[in-house]
Amino acid sequence: MDGTPGALRTSASLSLRLGQALFSTASLLFMSVDVQFYSYTSFCFLVIIMGLLIPWSSTLALFDIYSIFTRCRLRQPVIMVIVVIGDWVLALLSLAAASATASVTDLLTSSGQAYCPPKFCGRYQLSAAMAFLSWFLTVASSLFNLWLIASF
């Protein structure tokens, strides 16, 4: 069952993890570099969640690389359960953060340029879009691993 596509220690899992790390880094950078994100609670929430998702995805990507190169296929359900719970929690938090950011950006955009200059609004929107992509890949990882646990 270790060969389930997308589950931990496969090349599909590595691709998902790299995608998560990439999109969450992009979301964090679009939101935090040269933008006063700390004026809005939702934007601070997004920055915190993306700041948690980046080390989580990177660590699991390194773990996948190690497992693929050493062909080491450990069967430890406890680790799988921890990974699935971590993925689940981060996926839910990143969906909440992305939705919150998108809704606040929409409200600011409709309030006019005094609240949201076009340069900033575009970056907020890009950041929310990257967070949604990151969430999608995290859910995919989580589902593949949950399926693997259930079929033990």
- Residue of 36, 70, 76, 151 interacting with its own copies (CB under 8 A): 151
Q: Which residues contact 90 (CB under 8 A, 6 or more apart)?
A: 49, 52, 53, 56, 138
- Residue of 82, 107, 113, 117 interacting with its own copies (CB under 8 A): 107
Distance, first Cα to last Cα, the chain: 7
Interacting stretch for its own copies, rule CB under 8 A, among 17-25, 26-34, 63-71, 144-152?
A: 144-152
85 touching its own copies, by CB under 8 A: no
User: How far, in Å, CA of 77 to CA of 63, rounded?
Assistant: 16
Residue type present at position 149: I
100 touching its own copies, by CB under 8 A: yes
Fill in the DSSP letter of residue 103: H
Q: Which residues contact its own copies (rule: CB under 8 A)?
A: 40-42, 45, 92, 95-104, 106-107, 110, 146-147, 150-151
